[in-house]
Amino acid sequence: MTFPLRAAMVPVTRQMRAYFAPVNRATEEPTVFDPGLSGTFPLDAPPAPWVDLGWIENFERWYDTPTDVVRSGARTLPAGQFRGPMEARVEFNFRQWGKLQMALAGGSEHMNVLAPAAGSTTPVPSGGTPAPGVAVLPGSTATELFFGAGVATGFSPGCLLAVDSDYQQQTGYVGSGIAAAYVSSATAVKQDPNYVRRVTFNVGRVAEVTTASVLLAQPLLGGAPPAGASAQMVVAFVDREGGSFFQEWSALFVAEEETGGRVCFYYPRLSPNPGVVAANSSGRFVREDFSAIEMPLTAISLRASFLALPHSDTNDGQTVLCYRSYFPAGMAAAY
Amino acid sequence: MQFAKDSFFLALQERLAGLNPARTITINGATVPAIVVVENLPPSFAEPQANAFYVEWGAASVAGGHAGNGALMSLECTISYYSFGTVASMVDRGRVLGQLDAELQEICQPANTEKRDYTQAPSADLGTKVFWSQPDFLEKSKSSVENQTDKQSDGRAEHQARLKIFFFSEVTLS
């Protein structure tokens, strides 16, 4: 027989874990987190397509959805209230750096610095003329890229690859699987055939090289390479203060449960936005901090700040910015 | 409090048995995973054995910052162990100690376990969890283990890990 326990109603956590998944930018459809279908997943194995971005620090949620009062009568007594403009933000620090973490913290186009072409001398802050791409053959998957005998061996274990289509003068969102940038005109990107691979999220590290293919240590975020894709080596990542593109992702934050009860925060659509809440005294600039390990050693973290965008709940059509779900511990009292 | 102590110890003992089945000691003729609670041994018990974890409990207090009448308690815990290594010259005692460090870190993960009543068989789930801080590894200490080794100066390599466990008390505060 189970007795309800009030002590088990206290969620205790040690740290917060972040998971992100792409929003379909063409339709603005988020990745849906259904607590009933996948809420109690092991934290090391999130359900697809959620990507584990590791433990985060200084997680803070902010909301500003003021209510206003309807008054009536000679004494203008409160007769009811309604919600005003909605706004919610979330901020935290990534402790782990990676392609996706940097893109989310930077907020705009995130550049893969492609390995330079032999003899390239013209400097460009986000990477100059790259070595030509190597065609990816049909049959490749998100974890194995076929290049053909004698070609794959041109890569070595440990190298990073950007895998995507050539830029073909199109406008709109580019990047297979995940929108990585928005191209307003071909001239803006100088008709550069490498542009998609400069920004794509389909980046992977080579774990093993076979005679005709390379095996990746992690699957490409956007899935199997599209037909006609090529691969280029990546030597660094660059984000930029500025840019016109806004990243937009679905986010799920899970408080590691120490007492059995799990708390999740789901934001269907998050868009990077430094906001004003953490601004300095002038209210204009946001200071990035280092996390001291033991002076002078410090860890460099990536500060990320987001504005929540609205989503319509299909159950009742209500417009919401975020969801908080709670999975009570086994014997916790219901109320 | 005893339920929390028992739950913590048995969780670590079970994890150690799974992690390194060969890490055992013999107590009163019985071979068991090499982790014991000092207060569960007779006071006259012989010197702690090498390559084994000895758990000692320290001060307990009501943790602040909690709501409601179910007291969140903290209890200090010290885990001591030492090694002479595996060869006569003892030159690998540091490596063995490092292995013991790693095993202790591993069996402390995840840093929580169900609180169960082990005074009955089968044990009963008490509905809450025991959770604990990550262990701090110290070189020197004032524990009984350390004092004995200080006297002996026999070249052993030893460590002491300290952590704090937390649990909701069975006693309801008024």
Per-residue pLDDT reduced to its tens digit, A41-77 = 999 999 989 999 999 999 999 888 788 899 998 888 9
Mean pLDDT, range B148-152, rounded to an integer: 50
Q: Would the pLDDT of B36 be above 90?
A: yes
Average pLDDT for A204-210: 95
Q: Check: CB of residue A45 under 8 Å from CB of residue A273.
A: no
Q: Does A260 touch chain B (CB under 8 A)?
A: yes
Stretch A199-203: mean pLDDT: 96
Q: Averaged over B157-164, what is the pLDDT? A: 93
pLDDT at B42: 83
Partner residue opposite B128 with nearest CB, options A2, A14, A259: A259
| pLDDT higher than threshold 50 for residue B142 | no
Give the mean model confidence (pLDDT) for residues A169-188: 94
Q: Measure the CA dihedral B149/B154/B157/B159, to 10°.
A: 0
HSE at residue A259, side-chain half, CA atoms within 13 A, is 21
A5 vs B contacts (CB less than 8 Å): 70, 127-128
Torsion, CA A181, CA A182, CA A187, CA A192, rounded to 10: 30
Q: Report the DSSP pairing between strands B53-62 and B35-37.
A: parallel
Answer yes or no: is the ipTM higher than 0.95. no
pLDDT at A276: 56
* Among A7, A258, A330, beta carbon nearest to B112: A258
SS3 content of chain B, % helix, strand, coil (to 5): 25, 40, 35
A12 has a chain B CB within 8 A of its CB: yes
pLDDT at residue B143 greater than cutoff 80: no
Cβ A238 vs Cβ A113: under 8 Å: yes
- The whole-number pLDDT of residue A7 equals 79
Average pLDDT, chain B: 86
Best residue in A12, A327, A335 to probe B by mutation, most B CBs within 10 Å?
Answer: A12
Indicate the pTM of the whole model.
0.87
Q: A203 to each of A30, A34, A130, A152, A206, how far by Cα in Å?
A: 22, 28, 16, 16, 10
- Enumerate the residues of chain B whose CB falls inside 8 A of the CB of residue A259: 112, 128-129, 131, 168
Distances (CA, A) of A225 to A25, A165, A199: 19, 8, 15
Please report the pLDDT score of residue A275 as a whole number. Answer: 60
**Which pair of structure tokens corresponds to residue A176?**
């297979």
Neighbours of B47 (CB within 10 A): 10
Start-to-end CA span in chain A (Å): 18
Kindly list the residues from chain B whose CB atom is less than 8 angstroms away from the CB atom of residue A7.
68, 70, 72, 127-128, 168
Contacts of A150 (CB under 8 A, 6+ apart): A211
Instruction: Report chain B residues touching chain A, CB-CB < 8 A.
Output: 66-70, 72, 111-112, 125, 127-129, 131, 166, 168
Q: Does A329 reach chain B within 8 Å, measured CB to CB? A: yes
